[in-house]
Structure 1
Amino acid sequence: MRLWAVSVGPLKHVYPGPMPDIGIVQLLVAALAGIVIGVVAMWALNRSMTSVEEIDTVSASVADSDIQSVLTAVPQAHILLNAAGDVERASTIAYSLGLVRGSRIIRSEIVAAVHEVTAAGEPKDMELSLRRSFANTGRIVLSIRIAPMSGNRTLILFFDTTEAKRLEETRRDFVANISHELKTPIGAIGLLAETIQDVADEPENVVAFSAQLQRESVRLASLVQDIIELSRVQDGAAIAHGELVSVDDVVAEAIDRCRIEAESRGIILASAQAPDAQVFGDRPLLTTAVRNLVDNAIRYSNRGGRVSVGVTCFEGDVRIAVVDQGVGIPPELRERVFERFFRGDDARTREEGGTGLGLSIVKHVAADHGGRIELWSEPCKGSTFTFIIPEAYAPDTEQEEQ
């Protein structure tokens, strides 16, 4: 007798006798089904693994996209380092300033700070002073923040604080200077008041000291007014509500304000006007600027001299030139005369009553009106200050109606 067997999974059945034909068919069907199920299972497994890889790839892509979006949004320039310390991304300025070359940071100070951040896992702030690439152009001060990120990355954010540092130094100097300048007339007024009280029974001395007291009070008032004017012109909104201004009217008013001072010194004031010259801006500020130039010319002119004011229009600009025949300015001082509280001849300026703010105000007014100030000077021959601002364009009435 023949025995035949059929295996289904772990079970095995043994049957006596010959294998029936129907059993062969069932066996073949079961075998084919097993093959198909195996193939489908392998396909499903491979598909599943592929999907996981795709998800990881998409996730990494999304993460990189998020990082790029964040770096684009922050105002600071950046350098992003990978786990090996190589540069993944960097702002263009990082290469321009010489912080990055190729895929490496070349500034040893930053590299050392990155190592500290990596070891401690805490952010670090630092400042770095760099020499500009061009000769005699000073240094750049960078404020830098280094912070660890996920994936063993390191992010470096930095921005240029050179201008902020300069402004802070200027502010400190200004406070120191203004304190000194205010202290002098205030101290003199107090001393003169005590002296007048002591000589109350001496009319001649009272008159003399009273005249000095008046001069010091005028000087103090002038200084305070100049401080107010300087604060105003340093405000960017000073000419937010400008108007169409006749340059001849500005010059005439400025000369009229200085006429008494000029006559007391025996100085002749002359002007050459341009009737059609107009500018757009703040008339009181423009008048103050021209008055300061004329007043400065009078104070530094010799008695019996001449101060001239001329107005011309050239290539879209209005040029107001104030010419004196005074002592002139040495070449090494011509740039500094526009600094606040700078005096070329300190003793003479104090004697004449100047505050040292007039030309600084002129420079700011010109800049606020989109212009500039130019200086020509020759020692013992005189000086010419030229106030230059854009000419206003006013269309003809007939053109507007058309």
Structure 2
Amino acid sequence: MRETEVELPRGRGLEPLGVRVRAAPLGVSGHAVMQVEDVTESHRLANVRRDFVANVSHELKTPVGALSLLAEAMLDAVDDPAAIQRFAERIRHESGRLGRLVQELIELSRLQGADPLPEPVAVPVDRVVSEVVDRTRTVAEGKSITVVSGGERGLIVEGNENQLVSAIVNLVENAVTYSPERTRVAIGTRRRGHLIEISVSDQGMGIGEADLDRIFERFYRADPARSRATGGTGLGLAIVKHIATNHGGSVDVWSVEGSGSTFTLRLPDPGCDSPGFEDFDALEDLDRLAEFSGDETEPKGSNGRAELGPSDPDDLSGPVGPENRTKTDADATERADAHEAANADAAPQASAEEDPGTEPRADRPTAVTRGEA
């Protein structure tokens, strides 16, 4: 009996299909019996559990440690009412941050669960955008930032409205956090081919190229000090990525330092037949990836898993790595157009009191980095 595990690509944005293959020769010369088992879900859950424990253990240290130190400081300052008030305010801040972290961990865990998208329904994009603007108004007004919306009306996507609102709220709040005061955050919508695009564009500091590859990772912060100061958890963009994937879509970012950023959520248009990836013959892939030989003593690949290498042209699993990214003027122009469109489409909805000096920049970078879900 020989056993190996293989991963079969299912298309960009989808997790590869994990397969365990067992094979044994039969008494008849030249014949063998093969058992194929889908282990995708068990592998995914094991990875989720491992990552969850590792990440949570690390992230909870900071707020829990801060609360402990602040409590000790309060005990030492019982005769100083001003100090006690100051420490109490810090405790309130840290406990709020801890509460947000726990809430977002629960949300992320649910999105990675066995049924991440229960009962998808038709969702009006206009209603999603309206709800997002309403929810983010207070935090934006705190920095004198105007949240405007515009673009194509009457668009419909299929999915879970609460999840979609949560994704766009995360993008808008992130834009507000990293934008200077008295600027504008624009939400733009449009139909592009077989996709519905919802873009959130800001006039902030932009994102460095070194950070673009990692901003959708859980707990990753491009500016850790600022994230701590604002109560950021480092989970917002990871939540957006999982929501996009659960809806069969993707999220990517256009950004250049000093020129702002545009995050674009791309979702399938239910009114169009989405062009799928080419079907493959599962048996041929099994033969190619897990050839059985009576003389074979070790499974292929590291850790007993036969995996497609990064140079394999059939590897359609997961994000495009830095070595495979194409940075062309055409790609740059497309992202710059999306950035400008989100601002331009929203312009008619802007407040009359808005400072005319906050018009979005029209600079077009020569490079762009994608961050697909």
Report the TM-score when normalising by structure 1: 0.57
Secondary structure (helix, strand or coil) at the match of 1:337 reads coil
- Does the aligned pair in 2 maintain the 1:144–1:156 contact within 8 Å? no
Secondary structure (helix, strand or coil) at the match of 1:336 reads coil
State the alpha-carbon separation in 1 of the partners of residues 125 and 18 from structure 2. 43
Cα distance change of structure 1 residues 238 and 316 upon mapping to structure 2, 3 Å threshold: same
Partner of 1:325: 203
Cα distance change of structure 1 residues 283 and 142 upon mapping to structure 2, 3 Å threshold: closer
Normalized per residue, which structure has more helix? 1
Name the structure, 1 or 2, with higher relative contact order (CA <8 Å, separation 6+). Answer: 2
Letter in 2 for 1:173: D
Structure 1 stretches lacking a partner, 5+ long: 1-122, 133-139, 395-402
Q: Percentage identity across aligned positions?
A: 41
- Matching of residue 213 in structure 1 with residue 113 in structure 2: no
Residue from 214, 219, 222 that aligns with 1:341 = 219
- Does the aligned pair in 1 maintain the 2:26–2:33 contact within 8 Å? no
Residue from 249, 260, 280 that aligns with 1:371 = 249
Range with bigger deviation, 308-317 or 160-169: 160-169
Q: Provide runs of 4+ in structure 1 moved above 4 Å.
A: 127-130, 140-149, 151-171
Q: 1:205-234 deviations in whole A, cap 9, x for unaligned?
A: 122111111111111111111112112222
Residue from 240, 259, 262 that aligns with 1:384 = 262
Partner of 2:128: 250
- Does the aligned pair in 1 maintain the 2:6–2:20 contact within 8 Å? no
Q: 1:293-338 deviations in whole A, cap 9, x for unaligned?
A: 0011111212333211112223343211101122212223323211
Partner of 1:225: 103
Equivalent residues, number: 263
Larger radius of gyration: 1
- Does the aligned pair in 2 maintain the 1:142–1:158 contact within 8 Å? no
Letter in 2 for 1:319: E
Residue from 59, 70, 80 that aligns with 1:181 = 59
- Does the aligned pair in 2 maintain the 1:146–1:154 contact within 8 Å? no
Matches within 5 A, 1:151-162: 155=32
- Does the aligned pair in 1 maintain the 2:207–2:257 contact within 8 Å? yes
State the alpha-carbon separation in 2 of the partners of residues 177 and 361 from structure 1. 15
Cα distance change of structure 1 residues 191 and 233 upon mapping to structure 2, 3 Å threshold: same
Q: 1:38-82 deviations in whole A, cap 9, x for unaligned?
A: xxxxxxxxxxxxxxxxxxxxxxxxxxxxxxxxxxxxxxxxxxxxx
Secondary structure (helix, strand or coil) at the match of 1:339 reads coil
State the alpha-carbon separation in 2 of the partners of residues 375 and 162 from structure 1. 32
Secondary structure (helix, strand or coil) at the match of 1:205 reads helix
- Does the aligned pair in 1 maintain the 2:175–2:201 contact within 8 Å? yes
- Matching of residue 307 in structure 1 with residue 210 in structure 2: no
Cα distance change of structure 1 residues 284 and 166 upon mapping to structure 2, 3 Å threshold: closer
State the alpha-carbon separation in 2 of the partners of residues 303 and 355 from structure 1. 22
State the alpha-carbon separation in 2 of the partners of residues 261 and 389 from structure 1. 27
Q: 1:208-263 deviations in whole A, cap 9, x for unaligned?
A: 11111111111111111111211222235333312222212212222222222222
State the alpha-carbon separation in 2 of the partners of residues 158 and 354 from structure 1. 48
Secondary structure (helix, strand or coil) at the match of 2:140 reads helix
Q: 1:86-135 deviations in whole A, cap 9, x for unaligned?
A: xxxxxxxxxxxxxxxxxxxxxxxxxxxxxxxxxxxxx566x6899x9xxx
State the alpha-carbon separation in 1 of the partners of residues 21 and 183 from structure 2. 58
